[in-house]
Structures are given as structure tokens and as C-alpha cells.
Structure 1
Amino acid sequence: MSTPMIPMRNRNKFKLGTFSSNCSGGLAVTKAPERWVNSWENNVKLAQLVDEAGLEFMLPIARWIGYGGETNFHGSVLETVTWATGLLALTKRINIFATVHTAFNHPVVVAKQIATMDQIGNGRAGLNVVCGWNKPEYDALGTDLPSDHETRYGFGQEWFSLVHKLWQEEGPFDWNGDYYQLKDTYSLPRPVNPRVPIFNAAGSEHGRVFATRNADFLFTPAIDLDKSREEIQQLKKQAQAKKREVEMLTLSYVVCRPTQKEAEEYHEYYANEVADWDAVDNIIRLMFEHAESFPKDVIRTLRNRMAGGHGGYPLVGDPDTVAAGIQKLYDTGFAGSTLSFVDYVKEFPYFRDEVLPRLERMGLRMPIAEAERQENE
């Protein structure tokens, strides 16, 4: 079997992927009856749709307890390693990521899991590293959440360095670190490629040091695009100082309809009139107390964005408006974005048929036939 080019390394100027389809509700914190059902059947349908459409990746959220509210948002979640492994076996082109908490998963086990995924997907596995922030999840698993980011990311750095070494070494080695002491450890088989794509989302100073040192793609929110432009430049310089290239991604949610009026009316309905505000407020409270993915001075101003798509950049409108919004993200310096929908399987085909061709005409993406031809060159 030949090894395909890693989809995240293709020549599309703006990468696209789905986010959180393994979670109940997806990213829409709403009581709307048509909200996403995260069944395995629905995830397989979505994976095959986006694979055939030429999207680069699927990214899950690792979640262990829900956020409460009437819907108990994210109360049901398909575990990400098994989710990704199953979908890799049922797709052909797309990168599929597992999201892994460093504190909850032993690095030797994860190294072998990801390598196994990569063997099954013929080089299409990815790893999204999470160093932790959601204290109730730590409580649910009987683990302490360090209060300071220096400790969280110090542990995360040793964890990731160990995973990376396990992918590089062919024979047994000893490891004597601050957090792990291992003897004659190794992990075979290794990934198909020397390294799988690494995602990380970080907002704190320590987090961004970690991300620019280790990740290939760093997630950061698009709140004020002028500020995002400056932030992206700073992060790229930070990575370049370490002789690394790191691309910046963001998260978006999509409400695309034939007319602007239809899109705005539906957005008002699900993200305001029938939003699960108790769950929204729980998310905001927890992020304010423990996370730095979003600046604290703007978290509470993002309440409507939290309901619409977990704080993502809103792409709400007719196909021209949605495509123009994606162009703005690209012009800001983002290399790509996640996408979410209230109902991914029902709504993605319209995005595929109407928005993707516009992005191709704008030069942000290639038709899938052209992308495949270049992959085979």
C-alpha cells in the first residue's frame, strides 16, 4: 500500500475540518430538537461526506462529563481514540485526529494507540494534545488539576517528549524524568510517517510556549480580527525563534442558507430563543475560572457566540457571505478553520455544493480532483 500525502500538508491555502461531531450537541448549545445527535451512524455519514468533499481533517473533543443545563450539553461523547480509529478504517483521504488529555492517558499507551491508528489509516492519523483546564473532569476522574499553568505544561512537555521519542526509537530505552521513570520502554510499530500532525490549543503564556515548541498547528480564537492578525504574527515569530513553522487555525460555526434573512433568522432561533443558557453559563464560568483559551476580558461578551458554536467565529449568511467570512479569516493570517453545524449531516451538503466552489474560485482551495492529482505527483 502506498503512503498518501498527509492531508494537512496539501496545497490548499485554507484548510477546513469538522469539530466536535463526536459530542452530543456538536458545538451548538441549544435546545432545538434538530440539534446534533452524536451517534456512530451519524459520525460515519459525516466522515464519508467530508472525506469525499476533500476536507482536510476531523477533530473531536475529549469530554468526560457534561455541562449541565436542560440538554446536559456534551453529556454524551464518543471516546476519541476509538472514534478516530473506526473512522480512519472507513475513509480514504482525510486526516482524523484523536484528542488526548495528557493527565488522563499514559504516554506509552498513547504512542502505541496513535501509531496503530496511523497504520490503519495509512498515514492519516493526527494527535490533538490537551494539557487540561476543566476541573470538574479532573474531579470526576479522581485527579488533581494543577492550579498553575507552569506545572500543567511542564508535565505536558515531558509527556509529549516521551511520546515523540517512542515514535523515533527502534529499541528499548530508559526514561528518568520529573514525572515518569521508565525502564526498557519502547513502542512498535511506529507511525507510517516519522511524525503525525500535532494540534494544540493554548491561550496562556506557558501554553503558547508549549504549542510553538511542539505543535504543527495552533488553535486560537478569532474574536477581533485586527488583534488576531497581530497575535498570529507574534506566534509565528515565537515559533521561528525555535526554528519551527507553526500554522494558526481557528474555530468557526456555520449557518448557511439561500438568503441572508433565512440564515440570520435560524441563527436567532437556535442560538438565542432556544439556547440552553444554563449550559452556556456553566461553560463560561468554568472557562473563566480555569482556562485561558479565550481572553478573560472578553469571555462574558462571547455569551451569544458560546450558544451559537462554543465561542467560534460566526459564519452566518448566504453562500457569498459565508465564503467572504472565510476569506476574512485567511486575510487575517489563519491557515484554516474548523466548521460546525447544528446538524452536520443535514447542513454540510449545502455548504459543500455552494460554499466550496466559491472558495475554489477565490483561490483558497482546489477542486478535489486537482488536489488528488498534485498528491500523486
Structure 2
Amino acid sequence: MAIQILGMIWHREASEIIPAQTAFDKNYIGRIARAHEDAGFDRILVGYWSDQADGFLITAHAAAQTSKIKFLLAHKPGFVAPTVAARKLATLDQLIDGRLAVHIISGGNDIDQRKDGDYLDKIQRYERSDEFLDILKKSWYSKQPFSYQGQYYQVEDAYAEIQPFQKQIPIYFGGSSEIALKIAAKHADVYALWGEPLAGAQEHLKKLSPLLEQYQRQLAYNISFRPIIADTEKQAWEKAQDIYQLAKKQIEDLGFKDTRRKPQSTGGERLIAAAKQGEILDRNLWTGITSLVQGSYNSTALVGTAEQVADSIANYYALGIHSVLIRGFDPVQDALDYGKTLLPTLREKTALIDQRISETV
């Protein structure tokens, strides 16, 4: 199984070290999407924010600027009826010739959810996601009208003539809580992890194994990192420290220093717990930015030469995590740099792992 390598795009030039100069830049969407396609990425994530541009439209625009790269659209249940969301996703998949996957995000922060009028608690949001995915799949694949009576959604004689371009739109799902793992085992095609140490990642796989047996399903796995690469290991760590100082200054300039809240998501709590174990874990997993942003998103970095970072990712691949999402702190330039060295090295190393496994079977 060849490794799948994902990147991430958004609607303006901005990062932890690059202050945003505008609220929206349609030309940047095309530029960052093409950079990932040119670099050889397989798929790119379009994220979801409660205060930013619409991901459906960003995906459609980026797809029009590219020809082969695939997309992973983040979507939060609760704000669009599942039957409507199913038609929107199917339409988008038709428009972009089957290059779509969807990443279902239940929402890990009460404050952020309330910005869009959602007052359910965390458990209720995951229960709603379960029902949402039940209906989503029925809308995509039912050949006749269906009805559904749930706690959060009820539909009667629902039917969608518009079907996805693909036989099946892949569903990604994340979350480290017990209910999140159960829903992932029931519904997901790909389970998404944040960049934990090897032991933590392996723990997730072990927890999911009995749940998958219960549902008689199989899963693929994706893990996310923020690689920091340079020609030498010393230069890479110097680069990491420069990134830390720039990110720290930007947080302070924006006035976030004293308003950061403890993450409500179990995934964020796990990242913080990992950061408390040390700034450098395993061989080169760096938690500096994780501590700075208090585990509020995928912020762990792998630091070193392209060879060293590829070796580290290959260790996760050997565990059975055959997909990785990587994004840098200088988004366009880092994507292009990854394409020159990291991506080909990583594909070579993981292909050797596959070869060794096939020779022992």
C-alpha cells in the first residue's frame, strides 16, 4: 500500500509566523493549491473555521485551478441539514470529477460552537455526528426514498437524485474520546490523529481494534505533523527556534497571550500531556509550538534533514498508519520544498517497508 501524503490549503497567506494581511485572497487559493499539486501531494485539506471563508467554495475554486490533486473538505455537522449537506457534497464531487473526500469535525470547543449558535455539549455533538453520517450515507447511496427518526434529525421520504461522482466519497473522522473512537469505527474510512509520539499513536490503533471487530469494518489511518527541514540537523533545529520566536511574538502582538484557554478536546489534552513529557520526544518530535498554542490544533513538528524526518514518518507507517498530513509554517514555500526532498524520500522509505512485508508473507 503506497503512502498517501496530504497537505493543507486556505484562503489567504497566513500562519503562526506570517501575519494575515487580508481577510481573503482568491489568487492565493490557486497558488497554494498548485504548489501542492506541483510538489506531488496526493490530497489537500480545506479546513473549517467559525469566522473564515466557506470551505465548499474554496474547494471548488482550488479544484478549478488544478487538474489531479484530490481534496479533503472539513465539515461540521449541525449547521446544514444532513440531506442538504449530502447534496452539496455530491454536487461538489461531480464538479471536481471525483476528487473529494470529507472530514467530519464534531467540534471540540464549546465557545467556538456557540459562535454559530450551537449549544449542544461535546457528547451531544458526537451523537449528532453519528446521526448525521447515518443520513449522509443514506442520501448518497439509497436507491429509493428513506425516512429516519433520530434524537437530533428526523427526515421523511428523503431522496437525492444527485449522487457522488465516485462510487464512495471517503469519510475522514477524528477525535480521541471514547465516543469519537466508537463513531470512527462505525462510519469512517480514515481515522485522523494529531501528531502524537509513536506510543500514543499505537495506543489509538489498539483502542480502535476491538471496536472495528464489533462493526466488522476496517480503517485506514492518517497522522498530522509540521515538518521543519533543512540541509543539516543543526540548521533544522536553528530554524525551529526561529519559528518559535516568531510565533511567540505574533501571539503576543495579537493579544492572545493571556486569553488562551485549556483545550476542551481530548486530542488537545493528549498533545499537552505529551508536551509536558519533554520538548523533544522519540527522536525528533518537537513540542515547542504545541506548548505555545496550548494544544489547540495539530502543532507537533518533526525536525531534521529530509532523511531524518522521512525516517520518523516511516516509523508511523510501519505501525499501520499509511497516510500523513504535513504542513509547514511558510505554507507555499514549505510545500514546494517538501516536494523536492521529503516526499520522494518518504515514498522510497515506505515502499521498502511494503517490500519487506510482502517478502515475509
Same fold (TM over 0.5): yes
Return the match for 1:56 from 37, 42, 64.
42
Q: Give per-residue Cα distances to partners, 1:123-144, cap 9 Å, x unaligned.
A: 1111111111222222222221
Partner of 1:18: 7
Q: Whole-Å Cα distance in 2 between the matches of residues 34 and 270 of structure 1?
A: 16
Unmatched segments (≥5 aa) in structure 2: 277-286, 353-361
1:256: Cα distance to partner?
1.6
Q: What does the per-residue CA deviation read over 1:277-304, in whole Å, with 9 as the maximum and x for residues that have no partner?
A: 45776796251xx211234561763563
Q: Structure 1, residues 88-147: CA drift from partner, whole Å, max 9, x if none?
A: 23323222122111112211111011101111121111111111122222222222131x
What pairs up with 1:80-159 in 2 under 5 angstroms? 80-146=55-121, 148-149=122-123, 151-159=124-132
Percent identity at matched positions? 20
Q: Which residue of 1 aligns with 2:346?
A: 359
SS at structure 1 position matched to 2:68: coil
Among 311, 319, 336, which residue is 1:332 paired with? 319
The answer to whether the 8 A contact 1:323-1:359 is kept is yes
Instruction: State the alpha-carbon separation in 1 of the partners of residues 259 and 201 from structure 2.
Output: 23
Q: 1:264 aligns with which of 234, 237, 260?
A: 237
1:242 is aligned to 2:215? yes
- Please say if residues 153 and 207 of structure 1, whose CA atoms lie closer than 8 Å, have aligned partners that are also in contact: yes
Compared with structure 1, are the counterparts of its residues 342 and 283 closer, same or farther at alpha carbon in structure 2 (3 Å cutoff)?
Answer: farther
| TM-score, length basis structure 1 | 0.80
Establish whether residue 292 from structure 1 lines up as the match of residue 266 from structure 2.
Answer: yes
Contact 2:289-2:300 within 8 A present in 1 as well:
no
- For 2:274 and 2:266, the matched residues in 1 are separated by 10
Instruction: Note the C-alpha offset of 1:61.
Output: 1.9
CA contact (8 A) 1:22 1:38 kept: no
Q: Secondary structure at the match of 1:338?
A: strand
4+ runs deviating over 6 angstroms: 34-38
Q: Which of the residues 347, 350, 368 maps onto 2:337? A: 350
What's the CA shift string for 1:225-248, capped at 9, x where partnerless? 123223323323422331111122
CA distance, structure 2, for counterparts of residue 358 and residue 253 of structure 1: 17
Work out the CA distance in 1 between the residues paired with 2:168 and 2:21: 36
Letter in 2 for 1:142: G
Q: Which amino acid aligns with 2:310?
A: A
Secondary structure, aligned partner of 2:267: coil
- What residue ranges of structure 1 are gaps of 5+ in the alignment? 1-10, 66-76, 366-377
Q: Distance in 2 between matches of 1:355 and 1:226?
A: 23
- Is the contact made by 2:39 and 2:336 (CA closer than 8 Å) also made in structure 1? no
Say which SS state the counterpart of residue 227 (structure 2) adopts.
strand
> Relative contact order, CA 8 A, sep 6+: which one is greater?
1
Mapped pair 1:304 → 2:289: yes
**Deviation at residue 206 of structure 1 after TM alignment:** 0.5
The code of the aligned residue for 2:222 comes to L
The answer on whether the counterparts of 1:101 and 1:131 sit within 8 Å (CA) in structure 2 is yes
Q: Is the 8 A contact 2:12 2:28 kept in 1?
A: no
CA distance, structure 1, for counterparts of residue 22 and residue 16 of structure 2: 10
Comparing 232-241 with 345-354, which one deviates more in the overlay? 232-241
Give the equivalent residue in structure 2 for 1:196. Answer: 169
Mapping of 1:32-51 within 5 angstroms? 32=18, 39-51=25-37
Structure 1 vs Structure 2 CA RMSD:
2.9
**CA deviation profile, 1:3-29 (whole Å, cap 9, x unmatched):** xxxxxxxx41x211113x216676x53
CA shift digits 1:144-188 (9 cap, x unpaired): 131x41x22221111110111000123333333222222332222
